[in-house]
C-alpha cells in the first residue's frame, strides 16, 4: 500500500528528531520547518488549490521558523472570498489532524485578517511573523506589508498594551530566572518577552539589543526543544522531575547547570526588555508632548539639561550617564560612584554607561579606598531602588569583577520551595530588606555587607555558613574594613542561622540554651546586627520563612540574651497567647481544642492531660483532617500537654472545631485508631514521581539542655510525619517534655526534648539508640 503524505511526513519527522548525529538547536528547528513546509505544500497542491488568490501562510513561531518538536502549527489560509474555500481548508487540516500534529488554524481574507489583528493584539503580533508557504505569494506579501504599516501606525496605542500584557504575565507566572519550575514561554524573561522585543523593533519606535536577545532566545528554545523530546508533548513548564533528563539531552552536567543556563538567558532577556521599554516610554512621552521623532533625535545630538549627581555622574533624559568630563580609565571608583548615585536617585543606569564602565573602568585597588567602600555600601543600602542598578551591573558581569566569589553563586538555583530566588538574587534582596533596619543598629554598613554575603558560601561544598565565613572575611578585607569589622562580618555570616534555629528548636527556659547562644554571638552589638539580619534574610526568602510565632520566639531569645550581656536576670518566659487562653479555659473538661483562622491557614491549640504518646495522637488527628503542619510549639504546663500548631489545609475548608475535638477525644480514649487510618490513606495515594529524597537523619544534640535529651530530626515533610515520630518516641517509652517543629519548604526540621520514665535525661547510649530507632521508623 502506498504510504500517505502524512505517514511519510511523520516518519521523516521522527527520523529527524531521533537522529543523534543530525542537526540540533536552530538548525534542527529550521530543518523541521522546511520538512513541514514541504508537507503542507503537498497537501495544499493535492487538495486542488487554485494558483491565484489563495495562499497558505505560517504565523507566530512557525512563521519565525522556531518550530519545536511539540509546537503547534500556526497557519492561516488566505483567500480572496471565493466559494469552496471551506472545503479546501478541510482537505488540508484533516490530514494534519490525522497525523497527530497540533494545529492552530484560521481561514480569512486579507481584510478579515486585518480586522482580527486590529481587535486582538496577539493576532496582530503573530501576523508580524507571517511567512509564505504555498499558493499565490501576492496575498501574503500584501498582507505582510499592510500588517507592518498598521503596526507602525498604531504603535503609540499598541505598545503600551503590549507592555501591560507582559506585566500581567509576569504577575501570573513569575520570573523565569528565579523559579525552580519556570514557564519558559509565559514567565518574565521567557520566549513571549523575546517575541515582544521583536515587535518593538518592528514598530521603529525603539530597537532591542539584538545580540544578547538572540543568544538568550536561542538558549530558551534549545531547552524547550529538549523538554518536548523528553516529555513527548508540547510543554513549556520545566518541571523538576524532567530537569535531569533535559540536562542530559542538552549534554549538560546536571539539572543545576541547566537551571543556571536558563536563569542567565532569562535575566538577559528581562534586562533587555527593561532597557527597551524605557526607550519606548521616552519616545512615546516625547510624542505625546508634541516633540515628534525628528525633534527628539535633534535633542539627542544637541545639548540638553544634565543634572549633577556625583563626581563624573549626571542625570540625563531620565537616566544616569557619565559627565562629559568623566574619564573612566583613570577613575577606578567611578563604577561604584555611578551605581550608588543611580540607586540613591531611583534612576536607571543607561545601557551605554554600563557598557562604557565595563569596557573602560578598572576595578578598585586592593584593598579598596574608603570612597569605594562607602559608594558600595550606599548602593546596597538604597533599598528597592538598588535592584535595577544591580541587574544592570550583572548584565556585564561587573559584580563578579568587584567580588570574584560572586561568580559561584550567580544564577545558582536553590532547590528549596521556601526560597523565591536564585542564590545571588536572594543575597541582594536580603541587602534590600536589611536597608529597612539600618536605623536600629549601630553599624548599618556591617549589616548591609553581611546581608549581601551571608549565603555566599552556597557556591562551595560543605556547610555554607562555614565556607561563607572564610569568603566573607576575604571580601570584607578586600573592601578595606578594619580587622574588628571583618571579625563582626565573619561572625554574622557564620552565625546567620543561629538566632532563628535556637529560638525555634531549643527550650528558651533552659539556661544552657541562652548561655550557649550568648557565647556564640559575643556582644550585644553583634546581637543587634544578627537580629536585623535574621529578619531581612527571612523577608528575602519568602512568606513561608517567617511568622508571628517565629518572630515572638526570636524576640524572646534576643531579650534573654541582652539580659545575659547586661548581667540582669532573664525576663519572664513568654507564653504564647493561645497557651494562656487554653489554661484560662481549662475547667476539668479535657481535651480543649481551639481553632483560630489565620490569613494563610489556622492556629490550632490542643490541651490534654499529659501522657506518653500525646504528641503522636494530636499530630495524627491533624493529619487525618488534612491539615499540613507548618510550625508547632509543644510544652508541658501544670501537668497539661499544650500544643500550639500553625497549619494549612491541603485543600478545601478548615475543619469544624467540634469535629476536631471529638476526634482528639476518641484518639485519647482509644476509640480512633489514628495509625491505621493514616496508613490506609497513604496506601491510597502512592508517592509522586520525581527526584529521590534524602533519608531522614536524627541527631542527639550534646549539651543543649541540662534537664532533657534533645533530638533533632531532619526529614522530608509528609502527611503524618509528626505522628510517626511521636509514635516511635511513645513506643520507646520516653516522654516529650517540649518540642519545636518547623517546616522549611519540602523538609521538616524538628527538635524534641525527651526524658526517661523517671523524668531524667537519657543515658548517652540510650539516646544514640533512640536516634537510630527514629531513623528506621522514618525510612521509606
Name the percent of the chain lying above pLDDT 90: 65
Query: What CA–CA distance (Å, rounded) separates 712 from 739?
Result: 10
Question: Per-residue pLDDT tens for 737-747?
Answer: 877 777 665 67
Give every CB contact of residue 307 below 8 A, 6+ residues apart in sequence.
314, 315, 316
Grid cell locating 364: 578598585
Least confident of 82-86, 273-277, 292-296, 650-654: 292-296
Q: What angle do CA 159, 161, 163 make, to 5 degrees?
A: 70
* Model confidence at 324: pLDDT above 90: yes
Name the percent of the chain lying above pLDDT 70: 93
Question: Per-residue pLDDT tens for 475-489?
Answer: 999 999 999 999 999
Alpha helices in 232-254 (DSSP H): 240-249
- Sign, CA torsion 767/768/774/777: negative
Residue 435 has what pLDDT? 95
User: Confidence band (pLDDT; 50, 70, 90) for 177?
Assistant: very high
406: phi then psi, degrees, rounded to nearest 5: -60, -30
Residue 295 has what pLDDT? 54
Beta bridge partners of 58: 75, 131
> Do 602 and 654 form a contact (C-beta atoms < 8 A)?
yes
The mean pLDDT value for 758-777 works out to 92
> Do 607 and 591 form a contact (C-beta atoms < 8 A)?
yes
Grid cell locating 707: 534537664
HEC assignment per residue over 669-718 = HCCCCHHHHHHHHHHHCCCCCCCCCCCCEEEEECCCCCCCEEEEEEEECC
Query: What CA–CA distance (Å, rounded) separates 110 from 53?
Result: 10
Q: Helix, strand, coil proportions of the chain in percent (round to 5)?
A: 55, 15, 30
CA-CA distances (angstroms) from residue 678 to 616, 619, 659?
12, 11, 17
Placement of cell 511573523 in the chain = 129
Residue 705 has what pLDDT? 87
Spell out a b/e string for 612-643, using b for 16 or more CB atoms within 10 Å of the CB, else e.
bbbbbbbbbbbbbbbbbbbbbbbbeeeebbbb
Residue 580 has what pLDDT? 47
- Phi/psi-derived region of residue 635, left when phi > 0, alpha when psi is between -120 and 50, beta in every other case: beta
Residue 291 has what pLDDT? 54
Residue 720 has what pLDDT? 79
DSSP secondary structure string, 379-430? HHTSGGGHHHHHHHHHTTTHHHHH-GGGGGTTT-----TT--S-HHHHHHHH
Query: What CA–CA distance (Å, rounded) separates 286 from 279?
Result: 11
Residue 125 or residue 570, greater confidence: 125
> Do 99 and 3 form a contact (C-beta atoms < 8 A)?
no
Query: What CA–CA distance (Å, rounded) separates 618 from 730?
Result: 13
Residue 371: closest CA among 313, 319, 311: 311
DSSP, res 180: S
* Model confidence at 96: pLDDT above 70: yes
| pTM for the structure as a whole | 0.81
Residue 578 has what pLDDT? 45
Question: Per-residue pLDDT tens for 690-735?
Answer: 445 678 899 999 888 888 999 999 888 777 788 888 889 989 999 8
Question: Per-residue pLDDT tens for 551-562?
Answer: 888 999 999 999
Least confident of 29-38, 527-536, 546-555, 655-664: 546-555
The mean pLDDT value for 238-252 works out to 95
* Model confidence at 609: pLDDT above 80: yes
How far is it between the farthest Cα atoms of the chain?
98
> Do 646 and 603 form a contact (C-beta atoms < 8 A)?
yes
* Model confidence at 599: pLDDT above 50: yes
Residue 693 has what pLDDT? 61
How many residues in the chain? 780
User: Confidence band (pLDDT; 50, 70, 90) for 299?
Assistant: very low
Give every CB contact of residue 729 below 8 A, 6+ residues apart in sequence.
615, 616, 736, 752, 754, 770, 774
Give every CB contact of residue 371 below 8 A, 6+ residues apart in sequence.
333, 337
User: Confidence band (pLDDT; 50, 70, 90) for 290?
Assistant: low
**Interstrand relation of 131-135 and 601-609 (parallel, antiparallel or unpaired):** unpaired
Least confident of 279-288, 498-507, 686-695: 686-695
Question: Per-residue pLDDT tens for 435-457?
Answer: 999 999 999 999 999 999 999 99
Residue 577 has what pLDDT? 44
**Interstrand relation of 103-108 and 73-79 (parallel, antiparallel or unpaired):** parallel
CB atoms within 10 A of CB 393: 23
Residue 521: closest CA among 473, 565, 455, 469: 565
Spell out a b/e string for 408-445, using b for 16 or more CB atoms within 10 Å of the CB, else e.
bbbbbbbeebbbbbbbbbbbbbbbbbbbebbeebebbb
**Beta strand extents in 136-217 (DSSP E only):** none
Question: Per-residue pLDDT tens for 406-437?
Answer: 999 999 999 876 788 999 999 999 999 999 99
Amino acid at each position: 500500500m502506498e504510504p500517505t503524505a502524512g505517514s511519510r511526513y511523520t516518519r521523516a519527522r521522527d527520523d529527524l528528531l531521533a537522529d543523534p548525529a543530525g542537526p540540533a538547536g536552530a538548525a534542527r528547528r529550521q530543518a523541521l520547518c522546511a520538512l513541514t513546509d514541504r508537507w503542507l505544500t503537498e497537501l495544499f497542491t493535492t487538495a486542488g488549490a487554485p494558483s491565484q488568490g489563495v495562499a497558505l501562510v505560517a504565523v507566530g513561531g512557525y512563521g519565525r521558523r522556531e518550530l519545536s518538536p511539540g509546537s503547534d502549527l500556526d497557519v492561516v489560509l488566505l483567500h480572496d472570498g471565493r466559494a469552496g474555500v471551506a472545503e479546501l481548508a478541510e482537505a488540508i487540516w484533516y490530514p494534519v489532524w490525522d497525523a497527530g500534529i497540533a494545529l492552530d488554524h484560521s481561514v480569512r481574507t486579507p481584510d478579515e485578517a486585518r480586522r482580527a489583528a486590529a481587535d486582538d493584539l496577539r493576532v496582530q503580533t503573530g501576523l508580524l511573523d507571517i511567512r509564505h508557504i504555498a499558493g499565490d505569494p501576492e496575498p501574503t506579501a500584501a498582507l505582510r506589508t499592510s500588517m507592518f504599516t498598521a503596526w507602525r501606525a498604531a504603535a503609540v496605542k499598541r505598545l503600551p498594551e503590549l507592555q501591560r500584557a507582559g506585566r500581567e504575565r509576569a504577575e501570573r507566572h513569575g520570573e523565569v530566572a528565579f523559579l525552580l519550575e519556570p514557564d519558559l514561554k509565559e514567565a518574565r524573561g521567557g520566549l513571549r518577552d523575546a517575541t515582544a522585543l521583536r515587535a518593538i523593533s518592528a514598530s521603529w519606535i525603539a530597537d532591542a539589543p539584538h545580540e544578547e536577545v538572540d543568544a538568550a532566545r536561542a538558549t530558551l528554545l534549545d531547552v524547550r526543544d529538549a523538554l518536548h523530546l523528553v516529555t513527548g508533548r508540547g510543554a513549556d513548564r520545566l518541571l523538576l522531575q524532567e530537569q535531569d533528563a533535559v540536562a542530559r539531552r542538552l549534554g549538560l552536567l546536571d539539572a543545576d547547570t541547566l537551571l543556571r543556563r536558563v536563569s542567565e538567558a532569562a535575566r538577559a532577556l528581562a534586562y533587555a526588555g527593561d532597557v527597551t521599554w524605557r526607550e519606548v516610554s521616552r519616545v512615546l512621552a516625547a510624542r505625546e508632548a508634541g516633540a515628534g521623532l525628528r525633534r527628539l533625535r535633534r535633542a539627542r545630538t544637541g545639548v540638553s539639561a544634565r543634572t549633577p549627581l556625583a563626581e563624573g555622574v549626571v542625570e540625563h533624559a531620565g537616566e544616569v550617564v557619565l559627565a562629559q568630563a568623566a574619564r573612566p580609565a583613570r577613575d577606578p571608583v567611578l563604577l561604584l560612584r555611578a551605581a550608588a548615585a543611580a540607586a540613591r536617585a531611583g534612576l536607571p543606569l543607561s545601557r551605554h554607561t554600563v557598557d562604557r564602565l565595563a569596557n573602560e573602568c578598572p576595578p578598585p585597588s586592593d584593598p579598596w579606598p574608603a570612597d569605594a567602600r562607602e559608594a558600595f555600601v550606599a548602593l546596597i543600602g538604597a533599598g528597592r531602588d538598588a535592584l535595577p542598578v544591580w541587574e544592570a551591573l550583572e548584565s556585564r558581569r561587573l559584580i563578579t569583577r568587584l567580588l570574584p566569589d560572586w561568580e559561584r553563586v550567580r544564577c545558582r538555583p536553590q532547590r528549596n520551595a521556601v526560597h523565591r530566588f536564585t542564590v545571588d538574587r536572594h543575597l541582594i534582596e536580603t541587602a534590600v530588606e536589611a536597608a529597612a533596619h539600618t536605623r536600629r543598629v549601630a553599624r548599618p554598613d556591617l549589616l548591609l555587607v553581611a546581608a549581601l554575603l551571608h549565603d555566599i558560601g552556597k557556591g562551595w561544598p560543605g556547610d555554607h555558613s562555614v565556607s561563607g565565613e572564610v569568603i566573607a572575611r576575604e571580601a570584607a578585607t578586600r573592601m578595606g574594613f578594619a580587622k574588628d569589622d571583618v571579625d563582626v562580618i565573619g561572625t554574622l555570616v557564620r552565625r546567620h542561622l543561629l538566632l532563628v534555629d535556637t529560638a525555634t528548636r531549643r527550650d528558651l527556659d533552659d539556661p544552657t540554651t541562652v548561655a550557649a547562644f550568648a557565647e556564640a554571638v559575643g556582644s550585644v552589638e553583634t546581637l543587634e546586627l544578627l537580629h536585623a539580619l535574621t529578619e531581612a534574610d527571612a523577608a528575602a526568602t519568602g512568606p513561608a520563612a517567617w511568622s508571628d510565632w517565629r518572630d515572638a520566639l526570636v524576640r524572646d531569645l534576643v531579650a534573654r540574651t541582652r539580659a545575659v550581656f547586661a548581667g540582669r536576670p532573664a525576663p519572664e518566659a513568654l507564653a504564647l497567647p493561645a497557651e494562656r487562653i487554653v489554661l484560662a479555659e481549662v475547667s476539668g473538661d479535657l481535651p480543649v481544642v481551639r481553632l483560630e483562622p489565620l490569613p494563610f491557614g489556622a492556629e490550632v491549640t490542643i490541651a490534654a492531660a499529659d501522657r506518653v504518646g500525646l504528641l503522636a495522637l494530636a499530630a495524627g488527628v491533624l493529619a487525618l483532617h488534612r491539615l499540613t503542619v507548618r510550625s508547632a510549639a509543644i510544652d508541658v504546663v501544670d501537668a497539661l500537654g499544650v500544643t500550639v500548631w500553625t497549619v494549612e489545609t491541603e485543600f478545601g475548608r478548615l475543619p469544624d472545631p467540634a469535629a476536631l475535638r471529638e476526634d482528639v477525644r476518641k484518639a485519647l480514649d482509644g476509640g480512633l485508631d489514628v495509625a491505621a487510618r493514616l496508613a490506609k490513606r497513604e496506601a491510597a495515594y502512592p508517592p509522586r514521581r520525581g527526584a529521590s529524597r534524602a533519608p531522614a537523619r536524627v541527631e542527639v544534640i550534646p549539651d543543649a539542655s541540662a534537664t532533657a535529651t534533645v533530638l533533632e530530626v531532619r526529614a522530608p515533610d509528609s502527611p503524618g510525619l509528626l505522628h510517626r515520630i511521636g509514635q516511635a518516641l511513645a513506643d520507646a517509652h520516653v516522654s516529650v517534655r517540649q518540642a519545636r517543629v518547623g517546616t522549611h519548604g519540602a523538609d521538616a526540621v524538628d527538635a524534641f526534648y525527651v526524658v526517661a520514665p523517671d523524668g531524667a535525661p537519657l543515658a548517652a547510649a540510650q539516646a544514640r539508640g533512640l536516634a537510630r530507632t527514629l531513623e528506621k521508623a522514618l525510612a521509606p
